[in-house]
Structures are given as C-alpha cells and as structure tokens.
Chains A and B, each alone.
Chain A
Amino acid sequence: MKPQPETNKEHQKHYELLQKIALGDESSLKLLYDEFSTKVFNTAISYLQDISEAEEITQDVFLKIYNSALTFKKKSSVSTWIYRITVNKSLDRIKYYKRKKRISLAASFFIHRDEDELKNVIDILHPGTLQEQKEESKILFAAINKLPDGQKTVFILRHVENLPQKEIADITKLSVKAVESLLQRAKQNLRKELNYIFNNRRKQ
C-alpha cells in the first residue's frame, strides 16, 4: 500500500516514539521500524536499484534515527525527517559509487582490467513491479537514473512514493513552486531519455 499523508495524531504518536528512542528504548525503535521500514526500503531501492544496497541504507537510516533521536527538533514531522535521512543517505551512496567509478576508470589507464568489471550497468528490476510492466519499469528506472539528483528526488518522491508536493518541499527544503518546476523538468528529461532509448531500440 502506498503511504498516506500523516495526520496530527500519527505525528504525535511518532514524536512520542522518538522521545522514547532518545532514552534508549529499543521496543519503540521496533515500532517505528515496523511503520517506516517499507517506505525507507522502497525509497532507497528507487535510487539505488539494488536490493542489498537498499537494505544497507535502511539499516543506516534506523541506526541514524536511534543515534540522533535526541537531536530531533519538532520543526517537521517524523515522517519528513525519516524521508530526508533516506534521501540524503541514498544520494551519498550514489556519489560514493560515482567517485569510485571515476577512480577505477582513471586506474584502468594504468592497470588492465576486465571490461565487464567496469561496466557496472544498473539493470535490476524494482521488486514491486507487476509482471506485465516489467519491461516498461526497467526502461523507466534506467531513465530515472540519468536524471540530476534534484529532479530524481522529486520524481521518486512524487511518482513512486506518491507523496504530496508539500511534504516533498519539506523533505528537500525547497519551496512548493521549486518542487513543481523540478518535477516538470524531470518529466521533460524523462521523455527525452525514453525517446532516445526507444529510438535506439528501433534501430537495433
């Protein structure tokens, strides 16, 4: 089931759980985990396209929640805070892999390596994809991967996670207008990229 916007009552409940976690209560962490792990995991998988990487991000996010619960300020909802940690951790991981790829490419000038080792093409299917949409989903995520970070984030949060624009604005610390404009640009770029992929396929 896709996430629904948080009500005030839920917000209060999550905040109380966080306060207990700050005191070291692990059972509260488990309750928060049960509620948010699927959302965190699915957001991470949309970015990284890798199940084990997404699990590692989920683990890192909950460790961060456990260690930083004390510093949480009630400026945003707990859900927004958790999404923000997930987005930042996922983008950091992507940056890390891009850096690693650059270094290995530079090293490949000096050390001969197997070409396959350097290809590292993302070709994994989102586990939630329906059988009849598998091919389309693969193409879509390949195109999403090519978007700049900001556009990628708003597109995933809006169209995969189904979050309202206001919450996306809170997560990304942007205005609602900026989110709207990023979404428009993301869609334009996706259309271009998908067009390019289809044209290439037709030629083959």
Chain B
Amino acid sequence: MNMEENLESIISGAGKIKFAEPNPFLYNRIKQHIESQKSRPVLSKSTIRIAIAGLVILCVLNIIVLFSVNGEQPSKEYGYSLDIFSTGNE
C-alpha cells in the first residue's frame, strides 16, 4: 500500500470505530445531581456573595459621597451631622 492509500485508509478508519458504552452508573450520578439541585436554595451561594459585596460597595460609596459634598468638611455647626440638602442661604 502506498503512502496516499495508507493515509486514506487511516482517515476512513474513523468510521469503523465501534461505539463505546458509558459507565452504567452514570445515570445514577445525574439523578443525584438533579436531587441536590432540588434541595438547593433558589439563590445560589455565589449570588448571595455577589449581592452582599454589591451592598458593601454601595455603602462605602455612599459614605464617601456624604463626606465629600462640595469638597467641604462637615460643618461643626451642625455637630458633624451632614445636611447635604442645605443651600447655604438659610
């Protein structure tokens, strides 16, 4: 058999591969996964973590914004309580 015929026979040999069977217990594993999915809470752990991280970031941003209104330090007159809605004309 020459080189070209040899290559062709190898390529066409792909079709001669018989089908192999998966592990007979594989379906049980799938079933177990489905069961564990059912008992899992609606919100996954990662979703809860992301939500908490988002809340923390929002709180930090909020505090930064509150302390940097117009670039001024909180007035002692108001006892450090922030009056961000004040126009300064009162």
Contacts and interface: CB of A to CB of B under 8 A. Distances in A.
Interface residues of A, number: 41
A159 B15 contact: yes
A58 B20 contact: no
Interface residues of B, number: 26
A175 B6 CA distance: 31
A42 B30 CA distance: 17
B76 interface: no
Contact of A59 (B7, B20, B26): B26
B22 A162 contact: no
Contacts of A155: 14
Contacts of A39: 19
Interface string A22-43: 0000100110010001110110
A133 B7 contact: no
A139 B10 contact: yes
B20 A66 contact: no
Interface string A50-66: 00001100110011001
Nearest to B17: A128
Contact of B31 (A26, A37, A187, A190): A26
B11 to A, nearest CB: 6
B42 interface: no
Contact of A126 (B3, B17, B33): B17
Contact of A159 (B11, B19, B26): B11
B17 A195 contact: no
A93 B3 CA distance: 35
B23 A55 contact: yes
B75 interface: no
Contacts of B21: 38, 41
Contact of A127 (B3, B13, B20): B20
Contact of B26 (A55, A136, A137, A144): A55
B85 interface: no
Given A137-B13, A140-B13, A195-B3, A38 B19 contact: yes
Contacts of A94: none
A160 B15 contact: yes
B10 A63 contact: no
Contacts of A126: 17, 20
A129 B23 contact: no
A155 B11 CA distance: 10
5 contacts: A38-B21, A39-B19, A42-B20, A55-B23, A63-B33
Interface of B: 3, 6-7, 9-23, 26-27, 29-31, 33-34, 37
